[in-house]
Amino acid sequence: MIYLDNAATSFPKPPEVLKAVAEALAAPASPGRSGHAPALAASRIIHKARKNLARLLGAPDNSRLVFTPNVTWSLNIVLNGFGLKPGDHVISGSLEHNSTARPLSRFQREGQVNWEVVPPGPDGLLKPEDFKARLNPKTRLVVLNHASNVTGSLAPAKAIKEAIGDIPLLLDAAQTAGSMPMDDYCQWADFIAFTGHKGLLGPTGTGGLWIREGLDLRPLSVGGSGSRSESLVHPDFLPDALEPGTANTHGLAGLAAGVGFLLDVGLDKVRDHEMELTQWFLERIIDIPGLKIIGPGPGVKERVACVSVVLDGWSSSDLAAALESGYGIMVRSGLHCAPLTHQFMNTMPGGASRFSIGYFNTLDDVKTAAWALSELAAKKPSRA
Ligand SMILES: Cc1ncc(COP(=O)(O)O)c(C=O)c1O
């Protein structure tokens, strides 16, 4: 199998991750609850996960980093807990995933907020001045997908934050956390939401959110926290305020190991490897007759390692099926939970076929993928 679907979930996970999950599952775990030795060991696992992630993001205070089941949950904690009121104005980028677009669309339909989308420039990239131009006295929040899971384009997040000044920026780092250095992000972003199972190399069911000091969120759910148990009022201090219920200890053990692996390798090295393969792939496929790259072509540095294509005569699903059956290549077809992006890229309703490269891919993997695409471009799908 040649796995090129790392934007969906990364594979393989480093052996350290498998070992950490198995070890944590083999022990009784009630972190932050009981006082016996295995419970304390479980608390240490959570502490390690928090410490590793705080290092990866350069967070000055570990306690402002909370764990959630995935980035969708983290984004919803902010969007629902930030205290948006009818009449408030929220700006977002145009390459948002449904994990922000659906909550924002629901608020809009229910008259809760006025949601405005910033379109990309002719080159498909977002411009900081277009965010600034849309600010008005009612603007409360800017939501930004850091990197598109369709086009791979990387938003100029720091420049956008500089352009919007004091308005809080919520960054969806699903496609960037673990794939590029981000150790200065806590110096300027306001909320950083991440998922554990993609670039961070952890298991599914893990994710989190970093929250700038001074920003308060009303918890989406409250309950047992292992702290202040005498009170019927849920604690208001972090991380307990946003972590009700028993933590996913074995998942976080795996996430701690995945992030530990990345810190040892170095995020520069991860980024260089992924970009080298991506540029090689883009350069090889750009001249394939009938093939269109959806997003930045070769030479653009502001991108991540995800490349979507449309091939004349092929539906995105037929192409993905032919890649799997003929070459053992796994990609994702369709709309990638990002209909807004496909609208802006004129790839509705069929979507595109997405090749997403991870740290464990090799040059041979992308060579085979480029060769497979050029062979298929010369054929008609068998169903046609
Ligand atoms: C940009 C972006 N945001 C959000 C998500 C949602 O991730 P999860 O399903 O882990 O919550 C994804 C996953 O595909 C994504 O690519």
Give me the chain's average pLDDT, please.
Answer: 96
Distance between CA atoms of residues 52 and 49, nearest Å:
5
Q: Is pLDDT of 370 > 60?
A: yes
Residue 337 is among the residues annotated as catalytic for this protein? yes
Q: Is pLDDT of 384 > 60?
A: no
Distance between CA atoms of residues 134 and 117, nearest Å:
9
Distance between CA atoms of residues 174 and 194, nearest Å:
5
Distance 33 CA to ligand 1 centre (A): 31
Atom of ligand 1 nearest to the CA of 196: 10
Rg (CA), the chain: 21
Q: Is pLDDT of 210 > 60?
A: yes
Domain boundaries 15-265, corresponding CATH code: 3.40.640.10
- Contacts of 262-269 with CB under 8 Å at 24 or more apart are 262/56, 262/178, 262/199, 262/200, 262/201, 263/52, 263/55, 263/56, 265/359, 267/56, 267/178, 267/179, 267/180, 267/181, 267/182, 267/183, 268/181
Protein residue with least CA distance to atom 15, ligand 1: 174
E-only strand ranges, the chain? 2-3, 65-68, 88-93, 113-118, 139-145, 169-172, 191-195, 207-211, 291-294, 306-311, 329-330, 332-334, 352-356
What is the tens place of the pLDDT at every residue in 134-181? 999 999 999 999 999 999 999 999 999 999 999 999 999 999 999 999
Q: List the catalytic residue out of 135, 159, 263, 337.
A: 337
DSSP structure string for 181-199? --TTGGGT-SEEEEESSST
pLDDT at 191: 98
Question: Does CATH place domain 267-377 in 3.90.1150.10?
Answer: yes
pLDDT at 122: 66
Q: How many percent of the chain have pLDDT more than 70? A: 98
Distance between CA atoms of residues 234 and 244, nearest Å:
9
Atom of ligand 1 nearest to the CA of 96: 1
Query: Residues lining ligand 1, CB < 6 A?
Result: 70-72, 97, 99, 145, 149, 172, 174-175, 195, 337
**Lowest mean pLDDT segment, chosen from 26-35, 97-106, 121-130, 300-309:** 121-130
Q: Is pLDDT of 32 > 70?
A: yes
Q: Is the pTM of this model over 0.75?
A: yes
Residue at 382: amino acid letter = S
Protein residue with least CA distance to atom 16, ligand 1: 149
The domain ranges of the chain are 15-265, 267-377
